[in-house]
Amino acid sequence: MDRNSAIDKIKKCLALSASANEHEAAAALRQARALMEKFRISEGDILASDAHEAKATAGAASKPALWENNLAVTVCRAFGCQPLFRRGIGPGQWCFIGTAASPEIAQYAFGVLMRQLKKARASYIQAHCKRLKPINKTRRADLFCQAWVGEVWRQVQDVAEDPDNAAAIEAYMQAHHPGCGELAATDRNGDRKFAEKDWDAIEAGARAGRQAQLHRGVTAEAGPMALPQ
């Protein structure tokens, strides 16, 4: 029996320990404790085993754009996951951490929305940013994207967070990604005073974003985290 098999066995024993049959419950609890001691498995390890992660390629190696950061947070809010950014030599990765099928659904939703957003961004640049310098073109397109994601965010319906899922995700984070720091996303606009064309970009992004739909949601107060280098 390996460690993962032992965890599965322990979980089954713990379930049996709630049996109305006192002898059966006591025997199951003894077996669970024996396995935990033999394989050095903690309660946190058992809780963390209920969570896992799915990954998607990010648009930057170490510091994604603010709009991409917000898109990852929005998707996780919708599907009950914790976002985490993993830095890389090439493109970084977004990790969607959750329980059951939520990570894979979040991964899929992020990919679909990202493709839609990139297409909308390219169309906006082609139509409205031809004469701008590259730095201003990127900055204004970022405003468009932030407004686009903002509209998707508004479509996410808040429901009560499942405390069991939240506890499993937290235990998984502690077991697999301890010491993560806050992610510093790239904000090319910052406290800049917006010109009329900037507001036009925001309005255009909001209009385009209303065409995207994301229905299922949960409350997620925390933002993404970044793996330490």
pLDDT of 154: 83
Which parts of the chain are beta strand (E)? Answer: 51-57, 82-86, 93-99, 181-182, 225-226
pLDDT of 217: 42
3-class DSSP state of 146: helix
Rounded CA separation 2/218 (Å): 35
49 in Cβ contact with 11 (< 8 Å): yes
3-class DSSP state of 155: helix
pLDDT of 219: 38
Closest of 70, 72, 64 to residue 88, by C-alpha: 64
One-letter amino acid of 120: A
Rounded CA separation 98/95 (Å): 10
pLDDT of 221: 46
Backbone Cα Rg of the chain? 22
**Chain centre to alpha carbon of residue 109:** 11
Rounded CA separation 205/142 (Å): 9
pLDDT of 143: 98
Please provide residue 124's backbone torsions phi and psi, each rounded to the nearest 5 degrees: -65, -45
Please provide residue 194's backbone torsions phi and psi, each rounded to the nearest 5 degrees: -80, 140
172 in Cβ contact with 117 (< 8 Å): no
Rounded CA separation 37/210 (Å): 54
pLDDT of 160: 46
pTM of the model: 0.85
- Would you give per-residue pLDDT tens digits along the chain (229 residues)? 899 899 999 989 999 988 888 889 999 999 999 999 999 999 999 999 999 999 999 999 999 999 999 999 999 988 899 999 999 778 999 999 999 999 999 999 999 999 999 999 999 999 999 889 999 999 999 999 999 999 988 877 554 456 678 999 999 999 999 989 999 999 999 888 999 999 999 999 999 999 887 654 443 445 666 655 4
The length of the chain, given as a count of residues = 229
